[in-house]
Each structure stands twice: as structure tokens, then as C-alpha cells.
Chain A
Amino acid sequence: MMENVIELQHIHKSFKGFEIKDFSINVKKGFVTGFIGGNGAGKSTTIKLIMNLLKQDSGTVSVFGMDYKKHEKEIKERIGFVYDENIFYENLTLKDMKRIIKPAYKNWDDNAFQRYVNEFELPLNKSMKTFSKGMKMKASLAIALAHHAELIIMDEPTAGLDPIFRRELLNILHELMQDEDRTIFFSTHITTDLDRIADYITFVHNGEHIFTKEFYKIEEEYAIVKGTLDLLDRETEQEFISIRKTNTGFEALTADKNRVINIFGDTVIVEKPTLEDIMYYTKKGR
């Protein structure tokens, strides 16, 4: 029943000073997956591998169950890559862009394009260099939706956008997800955006896949634990991914909330972690 739209299996890819080792992730159809990790964690590399803009050294990439070697065109027809920069020629208008892009897609739908241009309040006849970052994002999204992309991949769509526009974008994404055949995969480091929309979280760190989980499971399993320093010894410290100690006590992250509650009982404070907490303590623990 649960179908994967994207499957990366045992990917190896090395660069100077950075490498992805035995990297496997699945992205579920019909859901929104938030892709998180710090700078240099491998998010952009992963997206480039999914888009076939980079070739892996070994391992397999499959999108819609197909391989890029044989089905590049079919795959790309069904993906909308939403990006805020460098894809538009600054001196062209959105109307010109449409004329250039349209022939590349069999499914191009002029009516849909016009509908989203209206909805997003985009000018067709102004040169793209007058567009704000948010408008560029919307233009890119309108193009993706005009060819009825089933898989929408967004690289840092909310970075550099003001809070009102970010909220608007999330509303648009909610609207898109009314279609249960649609999948959204987006990377971000503004993790609060994910609270409202992400079904799954995929977390990468240092070229490694740490986890992919339902968002609510993260809150059920992980916890921030705070207590006094005398509670820590070699044994109890094993319970945590990493610990931040100060003169006033400790704060730590656990991936097994219930176990920690059993061990420490009422002697500690147990709180819901944010994704930032998880990212921070995971990085610290490695």
C-alpha cells in the first residue's frame, strides 16, 4: 500500500573531503517529507542524485520505480524541481520562460499555468530580475504545477523568505497535498516550517542517513532531559546521544524517552525536543 516514489539504495559518492557512504533513503508517495541536516550534511548532494544531476559511484537511484539510465525523460516529466535561483534568465519575462519551458513537457497545461500565475499574483510581462525571492519561488512552483508534476522537489524553499510568505507557501503546499498521488520532498534548515506540514522527517548528518521517521514518532521517542550533574556517571551517560554540561546542571538528548523516564523517574525534567535539538545533539555526539 505504502509506495515509495524515491528509493536510493547503498549509494556511495565521494568528493574531495566529503563522502556519502552506504546511503539509503525512501520517500513515501502521497506525503510530505522534510529533509533536514546542517550545512554540508549532504542534502544538496542527495537532491542532485535524485535529479540525476550527479552520478553516484555505486548504488542505485530509482524514481517512480524507474532507472535514469533507461527512463530519464519519463522521470523528469513527472518531477517539478522548485528552486529559487539561477534557473531563470534575468532579462526574460515569465511569459518568455513559459514559451521556452513548455515544449519540454508532454503534459504542459496552459490553463493550469495561467491559474497558478493568477493565484500567485505573478506578473507575466515584467522581467524576472524585478522578481523578489518569494516571487521567483512562486514562478518556479507555477511551472512545476503547469506540467502536473507528481513529485515536487524543493531545495531550501523557505530560506530567505519572510515569515508571511513562508506561511503562504505552506498553505499552497497543503492545497497541493489534497491530491493523494502527489509527493513533496523538501530540504530546509528552518525546521519550524516543518511542524505544520511534514509527515516524515529524513535526517542526514555528515553524509550519513540518521533516520526517516513519522514526525509524531520523533516526539514520542526522543526527549530532552534536564537534571543535576550528580545524576550522571559512566553508566547513566550511556543513555544519551550527547550531553551538554554546565555549572548549573546538564541537558541531554535521548532516543528512548520511556527508558530514561524509567531510569531517572522524577529526578529529571523531560521535555519534547525540537528538530533543532535533535540536530544539535546528534552532531555533538559524533
Chain B
Amino acid sequence: MQIIISNSSKEPIYEQIYAQIKKLILTGELQEGQALPSMRQLAKDLEISVITTKRAYEELEKNGFIYSIVGKGSFIAEQNKEMMRERKIKVIEENLLIAIQNAKEMNLSLAELKEMLTLLYTEDA
């Protein structure tokens, strides 16, 4: 896991760690179930205080990116897939809404729209 901390940045160090780990998770570089280094190990590697990595991990846990098991450590959470799925579904909904709006503007019926959707969906596959 590569993390680069800037000491001259205005952004607090725990936020830098949070943002970088989050990105690694969202881009799939860190995958579900994968273990994160311990807070103490990460603090040592980054030459920062334990409480700083602790805070970053707490924020990641609070927002569902990781989970912790006492005595075992922290792991990449599964919910992220759910969250990403939800996010993608939301994007699809938004796009569909635009299509519906356009359809209504030109008085296209729901049946016609459904037909169009079915056609496009099956054609594409």
C-alpha cells in the first residue's frame, strides 16, 4: 500500500491518509477482505503519531470502507461493493429520468419508451 503524506499541506494528515486509502479501495487496488497494515505499523512507516493513523482508520470505519476485528486488525469492507453498486444505480436512474423527460416532451408513451428500451437492451447484448 503506497501512501504519500505532505507535511506542508493544509489538509490534516489523517485526512490525507483517509482520502488515499479510500481512493485505493474505490479503484479496486485494495480489495474486499484484504488486511490493512496495523495502525501502529502504518504510524511507524509514515513517521507520524499512532493517534493520527487511528483517527484515519476510525473515519474509514465510520464510513463503511473498512472494518476492524479486535486483536486481528483492520480489513477492507464488503459494503463498498454495495455502496458502489448503489451509486451506479443512482447514476442509471438519473440518466433514465433524462430520457423520460425527453420522451414526455415529445409525448412518447410509456409503452413506446419501454419498447425502445427493450430493443436497445437486447440489441446491445
Contacts and interface: CB of A to CB of B under 8 A. Distances in A.
Interface of A: 30-32, 170-171, 174-175, 177-178, 180, 195-200, 214-216, 219-220, 272
A197 B40 contact: no
Interface in B90-118: none
Contacts of A219: 12
B50 interface: yes
A177 B7 CA distance: 22
Contacts of B48: 196
The SS class assigned to the B binding surface is: helix
Contacts of A174: 43-44, 47
A31 B10 CA distance: 25
A128 to B, nearest CB: 30
Contacts of B79: none
B63 interface: no
Contacts of B55: 216
Contact of B43 (A177, A195, A220): A177
Interface string B16-49: 0000000000000000000000101101100111
Contacts of B50: 30-32, 177, 199
Given A177-B40, A178-B40, A178-B41, A216 B52 contact: yes
B51 A215 contact: yes
Contacts of A200: 51
Interface residues on B, range: 10 to 19
26 contacts: A31-B50, A31-B51, A32-B50, A170-B47, A175-B44, A177-B40, A177-B43, A177-B44, A177-B50, A178-B40, A180-B40, A196-B47, A196-B48, A197-B47, A198-B49, A199-B49, A199-B51, A200-B51, A215-B49, A215-B52, A216-B12, A216-B13, A216-B51, A216-B52, A216-B55, A272-B10
B16 to A, nearest CB: 12
A215 B13 CA distance: 11
Q: Which of B13, B14, B43 has the most CB of A within 10 A?
A: B43
A85 B118 CA distance: 84
Contact of B49 (A171, A196, A220): A196
Nearest to B15: A216
Contacts of A197: 47, 49
B9 to A, nearest CB: 10
Contacts of B38: 178
A180 B52 CA distance: 15
Contacts of A196: 47-49
Nearest to A214: B51
A177 B40 CA distance: 7
Contacts of B43: 174, 177
Nearest to A180: B40
A151 to B, nearest CB: 16
Nearest to B49: A199
B115 to A, nearest CB: 57
